[in-house]
Structure 1
Amino acid sequence: MKRRTVIAAGVAGLVGTALTALPAAARPGGRAAGRRVVVYYQTQYTDGTYVSPLGLTENAIGATHLIVGAVHLNDVNGQHAPVHLNDDPPGAAKYAPMWSDLKALRGAGVPVLAMVGGAAPGSFTRLDTEFDTYYPLLRDFLRQYALDGVDLDVEEDMSLAGVERVIDALRADFGAGFLITLAPVGTALSGGGNLSGFDYEQLYRDRGEAISWFNAQLYNGWGSMASTADVDAVLERGLIPQDKLVAGVLTDPANGGSGYVDMPALTATIRQLTRTYPDFGGVDGWEYFNSQPGGTPAPWKWAAEVSAALNG
């Protein structure tokens, strides 16, 4: 399971503020295009020190999208704040510097999405079975923080009709420029097993036009980027377009389990994929704070090397 749900306690700050909304036409990256370098950002604090994502733009290294996580929808009756970002309400004081930095990232042309779900169960069961109660909570959170999109990381059983209802509602509420991505395990797109309970290939047949791209998890036994084989297995089926497949990798051996591929091997695979698939959709990294080869002092270097391999 890739998504950690517990984050180290943060230092106190100002009360979180919402990002200023941009009109759809002015949002950077409103439509998915080109090769993407997507960075997941869940660890906002390490050892009590805030981890800023601004290195992604300050060093001009080619990151195209950032996905902040993880958003959880909790029991309405049992929770004072039914929407949580990791362990706290999104307006908690600890998140004030993060929301400010995410506004700056968006202003610099890097769209910001919210990752919903992950390894912690419950959010998608609630969206599936109690849609009228829980979907408005998600919608209002996305509006309040003026996010550019949402990444649906369904790692629990959910019906096909349920996930399609969520996608339809998001597209109706936020318009064509809003990014809707999903994060299945790699085998879910190549005819194998998955963690979500529904058939991703059928989902794509039904709602492909509404899906911006897939962040396919190619690690933890669900695939690998040590070679091109698992991307080949998806694209050779002929259903998922090249530009809607983003290959997900671990950025550090400690992040989430097995299957880390070191940078020399990863960039070799990326270069081969770009030669074979001219419209290959890109690479995403789980996660930012300790990304190699820069580690915690310079985690943005991962995106720099991946971008160079994708575009060089």
Structure 2
Amino acid sequence: MPPIPPSPTSRIVIYYQTQHNPDGTPCSILPIITNANIAVTHVNVAAIHLNDPPGNITLNDHVPAHPRYVTLWAELRVLQASGIKVLGMLGGAAKGSFTRLDLDEATFEAYYIPLRDLVRERSLDGLDLDVEEPMTLAGVIRLIDRLKNDFGPEFIITLAPVAAALMSDNPNHNLSGFSYEALEVMRGKQIGWYNTQFYCGWGDLSKTEGFDFMVSRGYSAEKIVVGMVTNPGNGSGWVPFEILQEVLITLKTRYPGFGGVMGWEYFNSLPGDRAAPWEWAALMTKILGGKPSTDASTSLTSDTHANPAKGNQNPFLLVDGDVKDKIEAPIPKGFEYYSDGSLDE
């Protein structure tokens, strides 16, 4: 498939896990291409789980070939024909997939080969590795190397770390177990970008401090896609649009190669909610594709979240007023997703 043509926007990535309405009818993803002025670049269909025994793969709670997914797979092919890249999201909040891929070679092969076959069968353009359980650095490198070997250099591999994982090597700030800094050094050329979770207490997208600090640590601005919850019901950390717009325009202006945005998740995205979830993508297209006004790009220069120098201070170190002693910010231990996988059948 030819690459997506150049766009005035950065990446706009949609996570698509809740694929059905409460009445069981499909929650169609096609409006992102049938409505004007939407420039989504990637859709991550979620979530693929590797279960026991080897070969027992589910998309959320059902096998990928289940009749309930007939419309889903057909629509995703239409998206691909329209130039949007479709990736599968592996893992997520439901643990086990990466533990099984992190064992001895024979066990790895037993679980990996059916995953490889699924990617081929569904013609996925890549995999998003959402490692939310302990995994070794050697284990994730083995997986990345095997995917590149089997599918070639054009196959897209992304990861979905919590924002804190790109700000600190403290294991308490990381759901994945391995160091993303070490992974970037060793396999950065094989990784397309990081869908970075700035929500559920792991990051704050109401200011640019976190992004600025990641760049100061050596991560390329082009590889940081800022992730947000698209509705307060999808998790804590939702940022009102008037604040979010200011932050995104600042990032786009400050970093010409700004990586883009991702939204968790599609089905109830604001401002349209369930009735028009594609409106989030239209809004992101407008914010990232339009030319920022002079006021929007300069009005924050006196504030900490628009000052790269101040942004070089780790946002996970708090300063209380005039007190100069820094303390570690509290980090949440877990959170829940609300999606197809958690809805009653």
Q: Normalising by structure 2, report the TM-score.
A: 0.79
Contact 1:31 1:177 in 2 (8 A): no
Cα distance change of structure 1 residues 56 and 32 upon mapping to structure 2, 3 Å threshold: closer
Alignment-derived partner of residue 15 in structure 1: none
Aligned residue among 223, 226, 230 for 1:244: 223
Instruction: Tell me how large the CA RMSD over aligned residues is.
Output: 1.7
* AA partner of residue 106 (structure 1): Q
* AA partner of residue 42 (structure 1): Q
Give yes or no for the alignment of 1:148 onto 2:125: yes
Give yes or no for the alignment of 1:226 onto 2:206: yes
Alignment-derived partner of residue 11 in structure 2: 36
- Look up the SS of the partner of 1:70 in the other structure: strand
Alignment-derived partner of residue 285 in structure 1: 263
Deviations 1:31-90 (A, max 9, x none): 99961000000001121221010011111411111000000000016xxx6010000000
Which aligned runs of 4 or more in structure 1 are off by greater than 2 angstroms? 26-34
Deviations 1:124-162 (A, max 9, x none): 000111311111111111000000010000000000000
Alignment-derived partner of residue 333 in structure 2: none
* AA partner of residue 167 (structure 1): I
Give yes or no for the alignment of 1:52 onto 2:28: yes
* AA partner of residue 252 (structure 1): N
Aligned residue among 76, 80, 85 for 1:111: 85
Offset, 1:236: 1.4
Alignment-derived partner of residue 203 in structure 1: 183
- Look up the SS of the partner of 1:267 in the other structure: helix
Give yes or no for the alignment of 1:96 onto 2:70: yes
Alignment-derived partner of residue 74 in structure 1: 51
Alignment-derived partner of residue 214 in structure 1: 194
Where does the alignment leave 5 or more consecutive residues of structure 2 unmatched? Answer: 291-345
Q: 1:30 & 1:69 partners in 2: Cα distance?
A: 25
Cα distance change of structure 1 residues 303 and 203 upon mapping to structure 2, 3 Å threshold: same
Offset, 1:266: 1.1
Deviations 1:249-293 (A, max 9, x none): 0000001x2101122211111001011111010000000000000
* AA partner of residue 12 (structure 2): V
Alignment-derived partner of residue 62 in structure 1: 39
Where does the alignment leave 5 or more consecutive residues of structure 1 unmatched? Answer: 1-25
* AA partner of residue 74 (structure 1): N
- Look up the SS of the partner of 2:102 in the other structure: helix
Q: 1:205 & 1:145 partners in 2: Cα distance?
A: 31
Cα distance change of structure 1 residues 174 and 199 upon mapping to structure 2, 3 Å threshold: same
Give yes or no for the alignment of 1:83 onto 2:74: no
* AA partner of residue 224 (structure 2): L
Contact 1:30 1:148 in 2 (8 A): no
Deviations 1:74-110 (A, max 9, x none): 0016xxx601000000000000000000000000111
Q: Normalising by structure 1, report the TM-score.
A: 0.87
Offset, 1:28: 3.4
Contact 1:214 1:245 in 2 (8 A): yes
- Look up the SS of the partner of 1:45 in the other structure: coil
Alignment-derived partner of residue 308 in structure 2: none
Deviations 1:112-131 (A, max 9, x none): 00000001010000011131
* AA partner of residue 58 (structure 1): T
Alignment-derived partner of residue 126 in structure 1: 100
Which structure's CA Rg is the greater one? 2
Cα distance change of structure 1 residues 30 and 121 upon mapping to structure 2, 3 Å threshold: farther
* AA partner of residue 231 (structure 1): F
Q: Percent identity?
A: 50
Offset, 1:30: 10
Tell me how many residue pairs correspond in the alignment: 282
